[in-house]
Amino acid sequence: DADVTQTPRNRITKTGKRIMLECSQTKGHDRMYWYRQDPGLGLRLIYYSFDVKDINKGEISDGYSVSRQAQAKFSLSLESAIPNQTALYFCATSRRSSGGYNEQFFGPGTRLTVL
């Protein structure tokens, strides 16, 4: 979805380096998410944010941190990258809802390789 952008699209880094992945959206959505995709495992939630001051851990948050700089921006950091963090990372957004019935809109992904 062109309304959700991710930078960089590809990144190769070395073990122990700090790296930041950035996500921006122009959809005006309150909620933003970070997922990682591994073959055969589908997408797993790393962190999610319901607004600028509301950040929550997902299923696999260890080794990751996030920052919600504004409603439209949500960045994911790997403090000290390790090879098993090699994956495809997706940012997503959704409208606010009282339940989980709103679909999510995904960015194009960032392919991260940790050597």
Asked if 62 is part of the footprint of another protein (rule: CB under 8 A), the reply reads no
Residue placing its CB nearer to another protein in the complex, 81 or 107: 107
- 37 or 67: CB nearest another protein: 37
Of 13-21, 52-60, 61-69, 70-78, the window that binds another protein (rule: CB under 8 A) is: 52-60
Total length of the chain: 115
Beta carbon nearer to another protein, 80 or 97 = 97
Q: Contact positions toward another protein, by CB under 8 A?
A: 1, 4, 40-45, 48, 50, 56, 58-59, 90, 92, 99-101, 103-109
